[in-house]
Every structure is written in structure tokens, then in C-alpha cells.
Amino acid sequence: MNLRFKLLLFVICILPAICIAQGDTDEIIASKDLAVVETESGKVRGYLSNGIYTYKGIPYAFAERFMPPEKVKSWTDVKFMGYYGPTCPLDYGPIAARGNGIGMFALQNDWGYPSENCQSLNIWTQGINDAKKRPVIVWIHGGGYAYGSSHELPFYDGENLSKKGDLVVVSVNHRLNILGFLDLSAYGEKYAHSANVSLLDLVASLEWIRENISQFGGDPDNVTLFGQSGGGAKITALLNSPVALGLFQKAIVQSGSYARSYLDSKTAQKVSAELLNELEMKAEEVDKLQKLSYYDLITAGNKAVAAVRKDARSKGEPILGSIMGPVHDNYFLPYNLFTPEALELSKDVSIMIGTTKNEFALMAAARTGEDIEATKARIMEMYPDQADAYMEAVKEAYPNTLKASDYLAIDFMFRPGALRDANTLVKAGHENTYMYLFSWQSPVDDGSLKSMHCMELPFVFNNIKLGKELTGGGKEAYGLAETVSSAWINFARTGNPNTEGFPSWPRYTFEEGATMVINTEGEVKFHHDKQLLKIVMPD
């Protein structure tokens, strides 16, 4: 047997193993009699992907512009739910301005197709109509309050998480930006709840889950919300709302602790008044907004927001909260963020809060080539009296700091917000609270991505292959994803994230400040960055 023939035989023998390891044997089964489930509105049909029942684009509600969501009309046929539903229309100007840089490469955004009737959800489950009560975990996407969708990023796919943890994974589309947060309540009872219809959509999705998820093998009494960035912020709003009370039992807020207050209704109503002014409409013509093209609406809305901001600056009046974000109204958010009344609402909810070490790494990417002297000079400009103390505090908090750029790429927005929220929760008696900090460093683009915003997501979803542009797709990433996804699965099951592969993960307390720092492995640290945060944020 010659050498060439032996090599050919070897390749033939190992080829199936290679294919299986790389997922090339992924199997899709779709049939008219397969994966049929009865919902309150009618029957839906999904398909099997690698043994996981998959449903995409199920309508959970319907709403006219600025109106609260309503139940969808029933149907008599069997609807095939095999592709994602429409996304909320977006303001594409800022998106286009980003260009085709390393961030777009790393995230591989898919903007979908827009429609204002965007209330749909997706489900992945191991069993249907089997009376089993699997934990339900509901993904709320990021993108602030203005952008994103349930399938914007490829690693939002719920198949692997469902398969590994025997969870029912759900992801949700809902209204955003001016469609979700325009307060028109000053113009009549018809628009009484317009200020927060984005959040009302999320409540409608959770009500749909409560009524229907048992047919998809899920337990309506064991629901966990998890969301990142804007998704995490929206979960925080749900925690503070009496309208969402009892619809979920656990919550994971990932890089979403940035709100300090909700927008007051007075400012929100100034925006809507300025919007009418921009469009040269009288108050009695407000209904015309419902028929205006989205492009004209968002263009005028952006001008209105700018005008209100300019007026506030000229008067020296700070705007608390996010314009075109949650509004402190008298219905959905009658209490402001984490006030005693709001904290009482969520007292029985188990909560995990965390961030990534380098949330804004992309903004610092241009400085990754700087030497230590250039970095020191930059730190001197920022902290002239404490430059040396700052660098020492960085090394104390993060002993593995090696590169000059590591001193400047640390997040000082989301981490302090997460600590503030966790401290507020535990002081109010929310004992089942856990904290994490994801610090694993991506090797992509010469390491410029570090542990940027969104970096933990492929690990949480156990989707390293679908996030290889972000993570590099190496062996180390696959190994860490096994542990991280297990922690999220365990939290969804029991409210406790402890898992094999990590050391014992204690609850967070104000006194000890326990944080699971997730690098190549997990390490529990106690107030590890306290001195650093004192220098950066002395107040």
C-alpha cells in the first residue's frame, strides 16, 4: 500500500469526525405534521434543528402606533413559524456613520426587515406537549432603547443553550425609539400610556409566555429574564414596574446598569410638544402622527430632542433619564428607579448583575500601540495629582495588567452602575443577588477588542462558533463557554449560578462585595477595584 493511498484512506476515515466536530452535519427536519403546538390564538408549526424544536416569529401581540399592545386575532390554519419576524424600524443614520470598521466585523450585525407590527418572539425547546416543566429563560436584546432585535447578532441563537441546559429559550422583538417612548399623554386619554409602550410590549410577551409556554415544554412559574446593555436596562425597568409584577422570578442584568433616573413626564411632554412644532401641527392634529411616515417621524423627533436638550442647557437644567427611553409616568413606572416602593415590588426576584472589564474597548483601540510613556502622559492629564496612585490601583485590581493600553481601557461607567444597583438591592433586603465581571480578553485584531461590550454573549449562549469574529473561536473560548453557559443555566434553574469549573460563588453583600471575575477561569474577588474607583469617581 503506497503512502498516497494510506493518506487518502486516513482522510476518509477521519472526515466524519471532523465534520461532526465542526457542526457540518447539522440536521433540519421540517414537516407539516411535525412540531405543531396549540397557542391561545391558534396552531403554530416549527421545525427540528439538531433535535431542538424551533419556532421563529410567533406574534404575541399587535398594536397601532403609540397604542398599548393587544392580543393578536385568532387564526384557524396552522401557521409555519420558521423565520424571524420583522424588526422595529430604526434610525439608520447613526448606524451608517459607524462605517465598516472592526466593531461591525466583530459583531456581524443583521438589521433584519422593518415593520411597526414587530411584536414577535422565538422559541427553542427540547420538547413540546409533554407536560414537562422546563425553566424558561427570556432574552431581551441590546441596542439601548433605540436599536437592535432578537436576531441582530448571530450568537443570540438559542439552540445550543436550550440543548445544553434543557431550557426553553425565548427571545423577543418589541417597539423601540420614538415608536416605543413618545409621551403623548398630554393630548388625551387615547394616548395615556404612549410613553412606555416599548415596555408594555415586553409585558405582553411575558403574559403570552405565562399563557402558552407550557405547551412548549416550559414552566410559566420559573421564568428568568436575561438581557444585555439596553436589554439589561429594560429588565431593570420591569423590576421597577407594578405592571410586570409576578411575570418573572429571576433576572440577569448584563452591562445594563447605566440609568440613574427615569425621564420625568414634564420633559417627555416637552419633546412631544416640540415634535408637533417641528411638524407645524396643532395639538388637535396629534392623530396625524399615527399616519406620518416613519422617516418623517424620526427626523422630526431627532430635531425635537435636540431642541429640548439645547433649551435645558441654556437654563442650566440637567435632564435626568434617557430622552426616548423609559418615562416616570403614573402607570407603568409610578416610582422612580429603585425607590423604596419600587424595591418592594422586586423583593422576591433573584438577581445577577455584571459587566465586562473593557466595555468601551473599541473607543480605546486607536491607542493599543502606545508605549507606557505615552500612556503615563495621558494618565497625568486625566489625574494630575494621582497618576501614580491610579496606575498602582489598576495593578492592584488587575494584577495581570501587561499592556500599556490596559491602563486606559477599563470601564468606569457600567461597573460603577452595577455596583450602585447591587448595593441598593442588598441594602433593601434583596439577599439573593450575585455579581460578575467578565474580563476574558479576545485575541481578535491584535487584542484590540479586549473584553469589549457584548464580549460575554457568545459564552453565555454557548455560541463561540457563531461569534468567532468576536472571540476568535479558539479552544480556550470554547472551554470557557462551557462553564459560563452552565452558570447562566443554573441560575435560570435555581437562582444560584454556582457551577463546576468555577470556585464557590458567594452572594453579593455590601460589606464583602464578592464578584466572580471571569477570565480563562473564574476567581472570586472582594471589593477588588474599590481603590481604583475612588480615584476615578471620588464622589
Catalytic positions, written as ranges? 229, 359, 453
What torsion do the CA atoms of 120, 58, 139, 177 make, to the nearest 10 degrees?
-10
Alpha helices in 428-504 (DSSP H): 457-460, 468-471, 475-494
Q: Are 212 and 205 in contact (CB under 8 A)?
A: no
- Sort 80 into a burial class: Cβ within 10 Å, 0-12 / 13-18 / 19+: middle
Q: What is the DSSP letter of 214?
A: G
Rounded to whole angstroms, how far apart are CA atoms 454 and 163? Answer: 22
User: HSE on the CB side for 45, CA within 13 Å?
Assistant: 12
Q: Is 110 strand, coil or helix? A: coil
Rounded to whole angstroms, how far apart are CA atoms 474 and 465? Answer: 9
Please, what's the largest Cα pairwise distance for the chain? 90
- DSSP letters for 246-263: TS-SEEEEES----SSPE
The secondary structure of 18-60, three-state, reads HHHHCCCCCCEECCCCCCEEECCCCEEECEEECCEEEEEEEEC
Rounded to whole angstroms, how far apart are CA atoms 16 and 270? Answer: 64
Q: Which residues neighbour 539 within 8 Å (Cβ) at sequence distance 6 or greater?
A: none
Q: Are 326 and 240 in contact (CB under 8 A)?
A: no
Q: What φ, ψ does residue 277 adopt, rounded to 5°? A: -65, -45
Q: Are 229 and 390 in contact (CB under 8 A)?
A: no
Report the candidate in 263, 261, 118 with the shortest Cα–Cα distance to residue 198.
118
Report the candidate in 181, 105, 195, 101 with the shortest Cα–Cα distance to residue 145.
181
Task: Compute CA distances 529 → 150, 222, 421, whole Å.
Answer: 34, 34, 16
Alpha helices in 336-474 (DSSP H): 340-345, 361-364, 372-382, 387-397, 414-427, 457-460, 468-471
Q: Which residues neighbour 300 within 8 Å (Cβ) at sequence distance 6 or greater?
A: 275, 278, 279
Q: Is 300 strand, coil or helix? A: helix
